[in-house]
Amino acid sequence: MARPAGIFDVRYEQDIAVVRTMPQWITLGLFLIFLVVLPQLFPDRYLLNIINIIMIMTISVHGLNILTGFAGQISAGHAAFMGVGAYACASFMTFWGLSFWLSLPLAGLTAGLVGILFGLPSLRLKGFYLAMATIAAQFIITAFFLHYKPEIFGGGTGMSLEPIRLGNIVFDTQGNLYYMIMPFAVIMTYFAQNLVRSRMGRAFVAIRDNDLAAEIMGISLFGYKLRAFFIGCFFAGISGSLYIAFM
């Protein structure tokens, strides 16, 4: 909703704000309240199952949007980094004895670091050729988890985990899982929306639109492309970690 004529932004923070007017704040507040009460309004298990999947995939899509939509780096194997996050989270819990809540950010960081490794070709490749490199990541990562040390990663059967707990709360129903996944979806959405309005986000857009001009302006293609891969794959890793809790 547009503001009345004659009202202008006087600070940079106002200019880049996601929510700018009182009606927008009210709408946002009502929407957040709706998210909180949604399982009570629609208690159907199947519907909540679909909503949980949508929220998990939304997090991964935000990462892909940052990487491809804003930074212009094509990733055709993004699902593989969800797998990295999922297996990393399960491994931290199984072999290191860490809780899910500590394993979750570590799994995101692991997926981000693996993303940097496969993002290195972006420094020399573009378009179709970069897409082929990321498809290679999909096959390499899948083959690694399926065939490397099945006694650790479970091979084709995967790894099994106990239901996620937080104190006395057990996330073993679709309703409880909703309340576990929803805050992450909201927070990651907020982070993604603000990132693209930051200095880094503007650098991503500049590289996407014309990387040569961006480099002439002093933007480090090496640094920002790898940051885009790290952030995009970090989102995918968080999404994959939540998916194992959902499964």
Q: Where are the domains of the chain?
A: 54-246
**For the whole model, what pTM was predicted?**
0.88
Its sign, for the CA torsion 96, 52, 131, 219, is negative
- For 124-156, the pLDDT digits (tens) are 777 778 888 888 888 888 888 887 777 676 676
* Residue 189 to residue 204: CA distance in whole angstroms: 18
- Which secondary-structure segment (H or E) carries 164? strand 164-166
Q: Report the pLDDT value the prediction gives residue 47, as an integer from 0 to 100.
A: 93
pLDDT greater than 70 at residue 82:
yes
* Of the candidate ranges 15-19, 61-65, 143-147, the one whose mean pLDDT is the lowest: 15-19
Backbone torsions φ then ψ of 171, nearest 5 degrees: -90, 70
Quick one: residue 160, left, alpha or beta (phi over 0 = left, psi -120 to 50 = alpha)?
Answer: beta
Q: Report the interhelical angle of 174-195 vs 22-41 (nearest 10°).
A: 160
Q: Report the pLDDT value the prediction gives residue 188, as an integer from 0 to 100.
A: 95
* Residue 177 to residue 39: CA distance in whole angstroms: 10
- 186 CB-contact burial (10 Å; exposed 0-12 / middle 13-18 / buried 19+): middle
Pair type for strands 164-166 and 169-171: antiparallel
Which of 7-16, 84-93, 138-147, 227-236 shows the highest mean pLDDT? 227-236
How far the first Cα of the chain sits from its last, in Å, is 40
Q: Mean of the pLDDT values across residues 172-186?
A: 93
Q: Mean of the pLDDT values across residues 168-173?
A: 87
Q: What is the largest CA-CA distance in the chain?
A: 68
pLDDT greater than 80 at residue 23:
yes
